[in-house]
Chains A and B, each alone.
Chain A
Amino acid sequence: MNLKLIKDTLIIAALKSIPDFKRQPLMLFMIGLISSIPLFFLLVFGGQISYGVVGAIVSTISFIGIAAAIQDVTWDRYVKIREMIVAMPVNPISYAVGVALAPLLISAPSLIFFMAIALWLGILPLSSIGWLIASLLLCWAALSGIGFIISTYLQRASVYTLNNLSNILGLGLIFMPPVYYPEELLGGLSWIAMIFPTSNAAGLIRVYSGSLQLPQEIVIVRWLILATLTLASIVVVWRKAKWRET
Chain B
Amino acid sequence: MEAIKSDSLVKVYRGKEAVEALREVSLSINKGELFTLLGPNGAGKTTFLRIISTQLSLTKGEARVFGYDVMTQANEVRKHIAVVPQDVQTYSNFTPWEYCYYFSLLRAMPKRKVEENAEKALKAVELWEMRKRTCATLSGGEKKRAVIASALASDADILMLDEPTSGLDAVARRKVWAVLRELVEQGKTILLTTHIMEEAEMISDRLAIINKGKVIAEGTLGEIKGLAKEKFRVVVEGNSKNAKLLQNNNRVVKFGGKQIIYLKDENEAIELVKIALKKGLKAETAPITLEDVFVKLVGGEEA
Contacts and interface: CB of A to CB of B under 8 A. Distances in A.
Nearest to A3: B108
A196 B95 CA distance: 40
A8 B106 contact: yes
**Most chain-B CB neighbours within 10 Å: which of A24, A80, A246?**
A80
28 contacts: A8-B106, A15-B98, A15-B102, A19-B91, A23-B93, A23-B134, A78-B89, A80-B87, A80-B89, A81-B88, A81-B91, A83-B50, A83-B55, A83-B88, A84-B84, A84-B88, A84-B103, A84-B150, A86-B83, A87-B81, A87-B82, A88-B103, A90-B78, A244-B54, A244-B74, A245-B55, A246-B56, A246-B57
Interface residues of A, number: 28
Contacts of A207: none
A246 B55 CA distance: 9
B41 interface: no
Interface string A30-43: 00000000000000
A177 to B, nearest CB: 34
A244 B150 CA distance: 22
Interface of B: 14, 50, 53-57, 74-75, 78-79, 81-91, 93-95, 98, 102-103, 105-108, 134, 147, 150-151, 154, 160
A11 interface: yes
Contacts of A246: 14, 56-57
Given A79-B88, A80-B89, A87 B94 contact: no
Interface of A: 4, 7-8, 11-12, 14-15, 19-20, 22-24, 78-81, 83-90, 243-246
Contacts of A244: 54-57, 74
B95 A84 contact: no
Contact of B102 (A4, A11, A78): A11
A128 B14 CA distance: 53
Given A4-B108, A80-B85, A90-B78, 20 more contacts: A11-B102, A11-B105, A15-B98, A19-B93, A23-B93, A78-B89, A80-B87, A81-B88, A83-B55, A84-B84, A87-B55, A87-B81, A87-B83, A88-B154, A89-B75, A89-B107, A243-B74, A244-B55, A246-B14, A246-B56
A246 B94 CA distance: 30
